[in-house]
Amino acid sequence: MAKAAAKTSDESQISLATAKVKRLVVRNFRCIGNSPVSIDLDDIVILVGPNNAGKSTILRAYEVIMLHGSSDGRLKLEDFPGETVDPDNLPEIELQTYVLDDLPAAQWLHIDEETGQQYVRERWRWEEPGKEPKRQGHRANENDWDDRVPWGAPNVAKSRRPMPHRVDAFASPEEQGEKIIELLKEVLLQKARQSSEDKGSVVENLTTQIKALQKEIVDQSQDDIRGIEQSLSAYMGEIFVGFRVSVDTRDDEISEKAFNFFSTKPVLRMGPEDGHMAPLDKQGSGARRTLLWSALKIASDKQPDSPKRPSKKADTAADPAVEAPAPRPHVLLLDEPEICLHPNAVRDACRVLYDLALKGSGWQVMVTTHSPAFVDITRDNTTIVRVERVGGSGVINGTTVFRPARVKLTDDDKEALKLLNHWDPHMAEFFFGSTTIIVEGDTEYSAFREIIESDRNPYRDVHIVRARGKFVIPALVKIMNYFGSKYSVLHDSDSPFLPNGKVNPAWAGNAQILSAVKSAPDADCVRLATCVPNFESAVFGEEASKDKPYNAVMKIKGNAAYRAEVKGMLDYLIFRSDVVPACLDAWKSVEGLKATFEAAVSVA
């Protein structure tokens, strides 16, 4: 069974190192209540939602179960909901992990029906503050939870799961610097340990030769240090153009202390080429945070191979085949990477993070963000989860709202969305709100914004998405259909024919929009409307030859009747009113739309 499943996993589209997080289920932990929050993890997961909705709690959930076996894995009273220990609603976290290597016993191996991958289910439950959690494994053959667990002891088991790296939103410069130095020291220490075998155990002789050997190690590591500097500079240069990073080992201050790689703490410096290289604690917050997760990537890339072991393919002792297992995979848990970054740096940081999580890299990334720039809906390895409170109950609900591979966007859809994202960095805002209107262009957008800005309270959670073209609307509708909440579409009908009598290519877009809207899972949650033949003609009775958005806003400002008409359109499109304004056609068929157009032309 295990061998057959392993073969399936090799042929699957899911890329694995030795393990990969499949799903995280959290309940009764901090602000998350008894209604479980289930997060399906892809290569990169973007957690969006309002402030104080529990996004950071989800990052902490994975971190805390990976700390099982240490004092940091024991919850405090404030980690229990309401800071109350309720025996019927204890903190509980379930982790499902895809596994490819270091498999546990067959009874723990579940098979994902969608992908064919093997995965393991584990659960942690904390019965009181300050105590070790109870860990259980889920048996596939019995379909129940067992007090026995996959892989045994906590430290053994967690080495079989992806290693977490948490980057808090507001860590101090000292904390960030310490973490970076420790990561880089570990890289150099691994190198030193390898070299010691050829040098007669350098480390063992340090008690008598410490000062000389410290300098020797530093000198021998110069090439590695320079390589680290170059790698870090390359990553930072992607975002902070023209900057480089240096590691000042301060080897002229080496003293005879107990062994450490550098008895005087190294200083990380950064600055422009041929400019002042300031210490890390004098850098801006954005630069420090970016350097930290860049160091994580460097450390993982440079980790040495594990000791070689007999290959699983070796059938007899005569077969000397050996294999080195893949490096341990990693999960980067990053809180609000956009904090303190220039807009251009935000876009570059988004690209670098998505590239970090490319299939086969051994990295998964889970990010909380309030920036639409971090939502790239054209990447197939992305899951976007909106975390929000339900009603006034205070209960947190996390739902997988978008997985591009399941929406089945065509290549043309992806190209259109990619271009739209370049043109309008705020396009992805509909993932952050609950009421969405898709409009064709800037005129409708500007008109509705005029109404909203004059009285914000009724429209506080309304997001207007500009498709900037009729043929982009179907791709956005596909996303909203998967998204599963109410939305509306407003577009121009255009004319079936051009002035020269030829068929108008824009008219074909109407059928594509209608087809996409009809695929909505709930027809009552969608409103489709058009202006015949365009917004200006339908609302104002005339078209503007230029400056259409500006002219529309000026007309609305100066004419109460126009303002009332546009407000009626907006209220209908956000389901506040069931009355279809006279300037709109809530059309249901292309034939009906054509008849409406012909009637409007005859009246004109």
Condensed to tens digits (0 to 9), the pLDDT of residues 175-234 reads 777 777 776 776 666 565 555 445 544 444 554 566 666 677 777 888 888 888 888 898
- The answer to whether residues 488 and 573 touch, using CB atoms and an 8 Å cutoff, is yes
CA nearest neighbour of 603 among 582, 580, 579: 582
Reply yes or no on whether the pLDDT at 591 is more than 80. yes
The DSSP secondary-structure symbol of 77 reads: G
Q: What angle do CA 209, 215, 218 make, to 5 degrees?
A: 130
Reply yes or no on whether the pLDDT at 539 is more than 90. yes
- The answer to whether residues 118 and 103 touch, using CB atoms and an 8 Å cutoff, is yes
Q: What is the pLDDT of residues 436-485, one digit of tens each?
A: 999 998 899 999 999 999 988 888 888 898 888 899 899 889 888 887 77
Please tell me the distance from the alpha carbon of residue 441 to that of residue 468, in angstroms, as a whole number: 5
Q: What is the pLDDT of residues 83-124, one digit of tens each?
A: 999 999 999 999 999 998 888 999 999 999 888 899 999 999
What is the band of 340 on the pLDDT scale with cuts at 50, 70, 90?
Answer: confident
Reply yes or no on whether the pLDDT at 411 is more than 50. yes
For the segment 231-259, the average pLDDT, to the nearest whole number, is 73
Most distant CA atoms of the chain, gap in Å: 102
Cα dist from 64 to 126, 165, 166, 237, 327, whole Å: 11, 11, 11, 33, 22
- What are the beta bridge partners of residue 490? 439, 529
What is the band of 311 on the pLDDT scale with cuts at 50, 70, 90?
Answer: very low
pLDDT of residue 147: 92
Hey, what are 250's tokens? 């301060």
pLDDT of residue 193: 54
pLDDT of residue 223: 85
Q: What is the pLDDT of residues 119-140, one digit of tens each?
A: 999 999 999 999 999 999 999 9
497 CB contacts (<8 Å, ≥6 apart)?
503, 504, 507
Reply yes or no on whether the pLDDT at 365 is more than 80. yes
Residue at token pair 């009637």: 599
CA nearest neighbour of 66 among 326, 332, 304: 332
Q: What is the set of domains in the chain, with CATH numbers?
A: 2-162+328-368 (3.40.50.300), 173-301 (no CATH), 412-603 (3.40.50)
Averaged confidence pLDDT in the chain:
80
Hey, what are 566's tokens? 């546009």
Helical H runs in 43-160? 55-65, 154-158
For the segment 153-173, the average pLDDT, to the nearest whole number, is 82
